[in-house]
Chain A
Amino acid sequence: MSETSFTPGIVAGRLAADSYDEQFSDLHPLLDGHEALVASDRCYFCHDAPCITACPTDIDIPLFIRQIATGTPDAAAKTILSQNIMGGMCARVCPTETLCEEACVRELAEGKPVLIGQLQRYATDHLQQQGIHPFERAALTGKTVAVVGAGPAGLSCAHRLAMLGHEVVVLEPKAKSGGLNEFGIAAYKTTEGFAQAEVDWLCQIGGITIKHGQSLGAKLTLSDLQGQYDAVFLSIGLGGVNALGLAGEDKEGVLDAVEFISDLRQADDVALLPIGRDVVVIGGGMTAVDAAVQAKLLGALNVTLAYRRGRDRMNASKFEQDLAASKGVRIMTHVVPVGLHGNGAVREIEFEYVNDDMSGTGQMIKLQADQVLTAIGQVLQGHNLPVFDGGKIDVDTMGRTSITGVWAGGDCATGGDDLTVTAVAEGRDAAMDIHNVLVGSSNGKS
């Protein structure tokens, strides 16, 4: 407790100064050697393993776990990283409970899957902490590729292209690389500056130049890039956020959760971050959970996550929902915000209860709220981009867009869930296609 623990409004230092480190410590600390051996012993080395099928990057999970079990974690790391160059981050942020670990046969057998995510981190950390980069570039091709956006999709694409011998220039509007790995994921999932360390490690391959402060716009158009480079890969993410569309949305204390999380991730000292006493988060996805949990960790007394449908429809996994509940976040379902009240600053939010089909019930509920975080989806922003489908850049399975010579992947493109691991897979696969087009037999410009 501190002097401001019960203070209404948005204030900093709600917790004792020495408790923040513990609050934001690693959600799943690195396994030690013994823990890794015990966990790896449980893998059955399944035939055509379901966990591989469930992994968007098709990591050969039984193989890397066997490599850990037999005392060769660096070989395990190479198995992982050859499929997923951001295997270290994915080990931390993947919703494994809905991917590999859900598919694990021991989940079916005993309700306790092999700890695939944590084992992956054990292997990748083991290699990366030695500073070893296990890949080398092929003979240079003389081809150049522009990658727009230094998030997971862009960096994955850049690494694979550089490895294949191409020169890659990554254009990034922000001052830091990493995209959502750096700005958009809960702090307790990626501690100790891992996102930047991973970018630095990834760039050890060579042949990748990251230019910050660069974005597509009037000064730099897609056709400019096409003129300067042999190919372009767009991984610009979803820059915009959806608005509630309610009167009072401009009141003080109402902000979007993406910005809240970004501020938190970039803070030098989280103890200095102001947080409401009564916080309401609107949404049902990972961003909503990340924001709600972190609001609680910052010392908010009451945090409510309000979602318009039932818990089974939430995009946040059951694990994430349970994590939120365990931290003291109250999850309200079947509520739609209808009003934001307060004089200048928000003081209260009003909801209507809704049925499963979203039809209104006429029943209202008001919650005290000095801070409202909205996490109701992000949208793609930009002009003169390739053809969209459903609000995103339309791509085929190899990431090709409607414009010849332009590929896209990650959250800004269609296909797959908006996950780090999916973005990595899309970047990698687009790189392979770009490579084939640039030097291979298949000619994309035909």
Chain B
Amino acid sequence: MPRWIFITYWWGHQMANLESNFLGIKSPNPFWLASAPPTDKEYNVRRAFEAGWGGVVWKTLGEEGPPVVNVNGPRYGAIYGADRRLMGLNNIELITDRSLEVNLDEITRVKKDYPNHAVIVSIMVPCEEAAWKAILPRVEATGADGIELNFGCPHGMSERGMGAAVGQVPEYIEMVTRWCKQYYSKPVIVKLTPNITDVRQPAAAAKRGGADAVSLINTINSIVSVNLDTMSPEPSIDGKGTHGGYCGPAVKPIAMSMVSEIARFPETKGLPISGIGGVTTWRDAAEFMSLGCGNVQVCTAAMTYGFKIVQEMISGLSEWMDEKGHANIEDFVGQAIPNTTDWQYLNLNYIAKAVINQDDCIKCGRCYAACEDTSHQAISMSEDRVFEVIDGECVACNLCVNVCPVENCITMVEMLTGATDPRTGKVVEPEYANWTTHPNNPSATAAE
């Protein structure tokens, strides 16, 4: 029995249904493997499905002809957190280097054997109508559930006028998307590059071209390290390096911000989104989905820990949904969008103070060093290492919370209406009041 079925069975009391229906494409759960090395071939994809993944986006196919050539040296680089936890990965690998025919045959076989799992085919061919017209019927013939247009790959292919070179020109996106809708009958997902100033423009272009959804983010231009002995960027090929595509936990905040921009932009509001970028745990997935993603795609977590990691995502999301009373994933998709706003609309009458739980404090003093050296001198330190917040100085910046090694030892506590903020001497007011009406705002004054 596949492990994911076993887990579902084991959590027999659960109410949550993880089934995903994205653009009419059904999958047992919203966890898809992104187009990348894990989905390069039949062997991997079959094992991924057996391990519990709900769907895959097959690693990008190119046009008919001599296969793509990859470097024969290192193609990945990484940055690490404590204990060599991989926080960011970059790669200089290109699209599939196996022949189109082999890939299409394998896709056909896999889809036939896994009718209830999502199989999406990623495609990248030259920006010419004939090239798309040639490949799309062959992809359609595989029985795959949809296609994803790779407009994001930032290295190698972009130098040949594909990948990010298309994704950075909204007009091209619109044009190619239109061709795809013309020559292909199933859902078309446009994958967006983050290497652009305003991600809303390519998303809007995709929508104008008829895209059923966008997926984001593709990888970010990056140099992860420089070898200080050879003075070569890494990964280094014979003493030379180039920028690669950056992904992994470190890019999640960038990806979520871009997702939220598309989810809030009037021209693209409601356009389905497949969230990509550093999803490593069930919590990451739930966060992306709360910002409007119908599902998520994962790559680096699987490349770091193997396919098994999906089991934690499944059990974790189930448990959280049960706890929150969400019966289906649609119940919470997009729930955080209404609470995502612009700075000017934040309530300036909301006042909080840091509170240190002395029972949990391990007396490392990092909150003190951070506040004393780099913030507001709002934490005192006694001779016996008791650290206390000075409410009269605390602006509730949260830095102490962020640097504290003990989770929930320091918290931000809201001051109640009517209390006096010892820092400003002002009474906390009940009314919401933001910058647009603030007396210090010249525009606000002019508007009155």
Chain A interface (Cβ < 8 Å from any Cβ of B): 37-38, 41-42, 44-50, 105-106, 108-109
Contact = CB atoms under 8 A, between A and B. Distances in A.
Contacts of A44: 364, 366, 405
B82 interface: yes
B302 interface: no
Contacts of B364: 44, 46-47, 105
A226 B445 CA distance: 85
Interface string B127-156: 000000000000000000000000000000
24 contacts: A37-B84, A38-B83, A38-B84, A41-B82, A41-B83, A42-B82, A42-B83, A44-B364, A44-B366, A44-B405, A46-B363, A46-B364, A46-B366, A47-B364, A47-B365, A47-B366, A47-B381, A48-B365, A49-B365, A50-B385, A105-B362, A105-B364, A109-B362, A109-B405
B336 interface: no
A119 to B, nearest CB: 15
A42 B84 CA distance: 11
A47 B373 CA distance: 11
Contacts of B366: 44-47
A431 B40 CA distance: 69
Interface centre among A41, A49, A105 (most CB of B within 10 A): A105
B84 to A, nearest CB: 7
A42 B81 CA distance: 11
A37 B84 CA distance: 9
Interface in B64-110: 82-84
A47 B406 contact: no
Interface string B421-445: 0000000000000000000000000
B49 interface: no
A47 B406 CA distance: 15
Interface in B368-395: 368-369, 381, 385
A172 to B, nearest CB: 42
B83 A50 contact: no
A50 B363 contact: yes
Interface of B: 82-84, 362-366, 368-369, 381, 385, 405-406
Contacts of A41: 82-84
A38 B385 CA distance: 27
A50 B381 CA distance: 13
Nearest to B405: A44
B175 to A, nearest CB: 50
Q: Which 5 A-B pairs have the closest CB atoms?
A: A47-B365, A47-B369, A109-B362, A46-B364, A105-B362
Given A44-B405, A47-B369, A50-B385, A108 B362 contact: yes
A138 to B, nearest CB: 33
Given A46-B366, A47-B369, A50-B385, A109 B83 contact: no
Given A46-B364, A46-B366, A47-B369, 13 more contacts: A41-B84, A42-B82, A44-B364, A44-B366, A45-B366, A47-B368, A48-B365, A50-B363, A105-B363, A106-B362, A108-B362, A109-B405, A109-B406
A167 B82 CA distance: 47
B62 to A, nearest CB: 41
Nearest to B370: A47
Nearest to A47: B365
A46 B365 contact: yes
A106 B366 CA distance: 13
Nearest to A108: B362
Contacts of B406: 109
Nearest to B360: A109
A340 to B, nearest CB: 49
Contacts of B369: 47
Contacts of A108: 362-363
B144 to A, nearest CB: 44
Contacts of B368: 47
A75 to B, nearest CB: 15
Interface centre among B83, B362, B368 (most CB of A within 10 A): B362
Contacts of B83: 38, 41-42
Contacts of A47: 364-366, 368-369, 381
A37 B362 CA distance: 23
A45 B403 CA distance: 11
Interface centre among B362, B364, B385 (most CB of A within 10 A): B364
A434 to B, nearest CB: 31
Nearest to A69: B82
Nearest to B367: A47
A38 B85 CA distance: 11
A402 B79 CA distance: 60
Contacts of A105: 362-364
Contacts of A49: 365
Contacts of B84: 37-38, 41
Contacts of A42: 82-83
A261 to B, nearest CB: 38
A41 B366 CA distance: 16
A48 B364 CA distance: 8
A414 to B, nearest CB: 26
Contacts of B363: 46, 50, 105, 108
A106 B362 CA distance: 7
Contacts of B362: 105-106, 108-109
A20 to B, nearest CB: 38
Contacts of B82: 41-42
A223 to B, nearest CB: 45
A191 B365 CA distance: 38
A37 B365 CA distance: 23
A364 B1 CA distance: 70
A110 to B, nearest CB: 9
A248 B340 CA distance: 88
A49 B385 CA distance: 10
Interface centre among A42, A45, A47, A108 (most CB of B within 10 A): A47
